Amino acid sequence: MDFDPDRRNFLAAACAVAAGLCLPRGAQAAAPPRTPLSRPLEQLRSQYSTLVIGSGYGGSVMAARLAGGGPLALFERGREWLPQDFPDTGGAVVRELRSDAAPLGLFDYRSGSDLDALVGNGLGGTSLINANVVIAPDRDVFGAWPAAIRDAYQSGAMDVHEQRVRAMLAVETAGASLRKQQMHASTTARRRRAGASVDFRRLDLAVNLSRYAGTANAEGVVQTSCRLCGDCVSGCRTGAKNTLDVNYLRAAARGGAEIYTRIEVGFVERAGGLWRVHYVARPAGAPPRRGSVLAARVVVAAGALGSSQILLRSAAMGLVLPAALGTRVSANGDFLGLGYNSAVQTDTVGFGEGSPRFDQRQVGPTITGAAQYAAAHPAQRFLIEEGAWPRALADALRVLMPATASAPDVPAGQRELRDIAGLRANGALNHSMVYLGIGHDSAGGRIALDATGQARIRWPGLPAEPFVARMREEMRRHAAEFGASLVESPRAHPVFGAALTTVHPLGGCPMGADAGSGVVDADGRVFDPRGGVHAGLYVTDGAVIPASLGVNPLLTIAALAERMAARMTA
C-alpha cells in the first residue's frame, strides 16, 4: 500500500496550520447556546471496553445504546460544530472542503474516476450537511441481504427499530405551502396523467419545524424552530436541524460515553485479546500527534468510505479480512439534476440568516417531497426529490448558470438578466428546481486506496447503468412541464470526466452470509476468512449495506445500528 508515514507526517503538520486558517467565521447567529459534547484530548484513556469510530448515524446510535456498559469512547475525525459556525458564504464553503491541507473541513468531497461522493466531516457526521430525510425502504429490496435482515424487514421486526429512530430524531413533515413542493407535486401530477406510474409524497424530516420553539428538546438541547431558509445542506445556523449532536450523541454522553473529536483513525490491529486502534489527533492549537488506544470491542462506523478505508488500511497492515472488502459499493442510484429557468417561481434559493427578499417567499427545508415512481420490479423504482440551493452557493450560481443554457423566450432571458444583475430574487435560479434522484444501481462499484491512502470509488460503466437514463428522462420531462431545461452536474460532462455524484455512498464492507460473500454478518461482526469472526470487531454504518436502498438511507443505517446494539446488549 502506498501510505507513506513521512508523507503523512508532512501533511499532518501542514494540516495543523491550514486548519487554523480555515476555521469559519465567528459567532453571528442567534442560535441558542449549546454545551459542547467533546472532551479535551488530555482526558483520553489508554484502554476502553468499547471504542466507536465515527459519529454518523451508525456510530451515534451505537454509542448511545452501548454507553453505560463499561468505559466507552467515540472518535470523530472532524471537529464539533456549533450552529453559528457553519459556513454561509461561497468562500467559507470552499474553505471547508476537506483536503490534506484542511483535514477538518466540513465537506468531504471525494472525487473518483467514475463516481464522486460527498459526505460530512464533523461530530454528527453527514447529519450536519444532509437534508435529513427519514424514509423507510420498500420491504422487498433486501434480496441481496443476509436472510436474518431480510426476514426482520419482511416480518415487521425492524419496524420497532425504525420507530425508535424516528422518535429519537423527532421527525416532522413540512407543510404544503412551499412553492418548490407545489411545483414538484404539480409536475408529478402531470406526469401521472401522461401515463407514468408516479405519485407525489411529502417526506418525513429530522428537522425541528414546530416541536420546540426556543425550548429544550428531549435531550435538553434548546432548539429554535426552522426558519425555512433552505440552508440545511451547508449546516443549519439556527440549530433547527435534528442533527445527531442534539439527540443520539447527547444520549451517549449522558450515558457516560467519552466523545473526542479531531481524531482520525488510521487502522486497527490485533493486540492479544484486544484491539489496538491507531490514530492521528489534531488538537486545536497544537501540532498533530499520533497515538493508539486499546479496546475490547471496536465498532467501525466511519461511513462507507471511512470504514472501508480503515479496514483496507488494516488489511494492508496485516489484518486478515474477507476478499469482499471494498466491494458491493453503491451510489444508492443517486442522480442529480437541475430543472433550470422554468416559467414558475419556485423559491429554491436559500436566504440564510436574513429575511426572504421581498420578491421571494420562504424556501423550506432542503427537501420536503418526492415523486415516487412505482414498478413491479424493485430495481426499476425510484424517487425524484425536490431540493434547494443553500445561500452560500447562490451568488455564484446566479452568475454561472446563464452560461449553461440558452433562454427559450423573452421572459426566460429576463430572468437570467435579473440573476446576473443580482438586484432581485425572482431570477432564473429561483425559477428552477433542484432534483435529487434516488433509485437502484448494481452496487458494482469498488473502493480502493489511492496513493495517499484515501479511499476512492472506481466504477467503470456506471453512467451506462439503466437507472441513469431512466431518471434523466423523467427529470427532463418534469422540467419541461413548465418550460425549464434539464442541466446536469458539470462532472457528468465528458470534458469534466463524465462522472456521477452520490451523496449516499453505500457498501464497501457489505453484509453477507459468510466470508465468501460479505465482510460482516447480519450483526455487524467482521468475518475472519480463516473461520468465524474477528471477535470484538464490528462495522455498523452505510458501509455494511450491500445494495442500493432506493431511498435516503439514514433511517435504514440507524435502524440497523439499533438492531445490532440490541443484539450486542441482549
Partner 1 sequence: MNAVLRRLFALLLCCAAGTPHARGLLFDEEMRGHGYWDGELRTLHFVLDVRIPDIDRWRASPAHPAQVSGSLRLDAAAPQTLAGTLEILAPAPNQDGRVLVYRLTAANWRFLGAKLVRNDGGFDLIDDVTTLHGVLLPRTAAWPSVGSLVDDGQWSSEVQFEWWRPSIVLAFLDSFATIDTPWYEVPWVKYVFIDTTFGAVAGEFLFDLL
Residues in touch with partner 1 (CB under 8 A): 179, 182-183, 185-186, 189, 343-345, 356, 358-361, 409-411, 414, 421, 423-424, 482
Nearer to partner 1, 166 or 361 (CB): 361
Comparing CB distances to partner 1, the nearer of 325 and 425 is 425
Q: Exposed, middle or buried: residue 473 (CB in 10 Å: 0-12, 13-18, 19+)?
A: exposed
Amino acid code (one letter) for 360: Q
Q: Which is nearer to partner 1, 8 or 357 (CB)?
A: 357
Q: 10 Å Cβ neighbour count for 286?
A: 11
Q: Which amino acid is at 399?
A: V
* Nearest CB to partner 1, comparing residues 311 and 412: 412
Cβ-based nearer residue to partner 1, 344 or 379: 344
**Which phi and psi angles does 467 have, rounded to 5°?**
-65, -30
| Comparison of 93 and 429: residue with beta carbon closer to partner 1 | 429
* Contact by Cβ (8 Å): 238, 230: no
* Residue nearer to partner 1 on the CB measure, 308 or 430: 430
Please answer whether residues 381 and 198 qualify as being in contact, where contact means their C-beta atoms are separated by less than 8 angstroms: no
The answer to whether residues 102 and 11 touch, using CB atoms and an 8 Å cutoff, is no
C-alpha to C-alpha distance for 368 and 161, rounded to whole angstroms: 23
Nearest distance from C-beta of residue 427 to partner 1, angstroms: 10
For residues 280 and 263, what is the distance between their CA atoms, to the nearest angstrom?
A: 6
C-beta of 107: minimal distance to partner 1 in Å? 31
Give min distance, CB of 342 to partner 1, in A.
Answer: 9
CB of 222 to partner 1, least distance (A): 28
Q: Find the shortest distance in angstroms from Cβ 426 to partner 1.
A: 9
Shortest Å distance, C-beta 336 to partner 1: 23
**Dist CA 326 CA 312 (whole Å):** 8
Q: Under a CB-based contact definition with an 8 Å cutoff, are residues 238 and 31 in contact?
A: yes
> Cβ of residue 351: shortest distance to partner 1, in angstroms?
11
Which residue, 344 or 545, is less far from partner 1 as judged by CB?
344
> What is the closest distance, in whole angstroms, from the C-beta atom of residue 12 to partner 1 in the complex?
50
Q: Is residue 5 exposed (0-12), middle (13-18) or buried (19+ Cβ within 10 Å)? A: exposed
Q: What share of the chain is helix, strand, coil (3-state, %, to 5)?
A: 30, 25, 45
Q: Are 74 and 48 in contact (CB under 8 A)?
A: no
Pseudo-torsion of CA 515, 519, 525, 531, nearest 10°?
A: 20
| Least spacing, CB of residue 322 vs partner 1, in Å | 51
- Classify strands 172-173 and 198-202 as parallel, antiparallel or unpaired: unpaired
* DSSP notation for 517-563: T-SB-TT-EEE-TTSSEEEEEEE-SGGG--S--SS-SHHHHHHHHHH
Considering beta carbons, is residue 36 or 354 the nearer one to partner 1?
Answer: 354
Task: Compute the CA torsion angle 202, 203, 205, 208 (nearest 10 deg).
Answer: 10
Q: Which residues contact 265 (CB under 8 A, 6 or more apart)?
A: 53, 75, 77, 277, 278, 279, 302, 310
Looking at beta carbons only, is 187 or 502 nearer to partner 1? 187
* Residue 387 contacts residue 343 (beta carbons within 8 Å): no
Q: How far is the CB of 422 from partner 1 (least distance, A)?
A: 10
Nearer to partner 1, 150 or 361 (CB): 361
Q: How far is the CB of 481 from partner 1 (least distance, A)?
A: 9
- Rounded Cα distance between 61 and 147, Å, is 23
**In a 3-state reduction of DSSP, which class is residue 134?**
strand
Nearer to partner 1, 183 or 455 (CB): 183
Min dist CB 424 to partner 1, Å, is 4
Q: What is the DSSP string of 424-447?
A: -S-SSGGG-EEEEEE------BEE
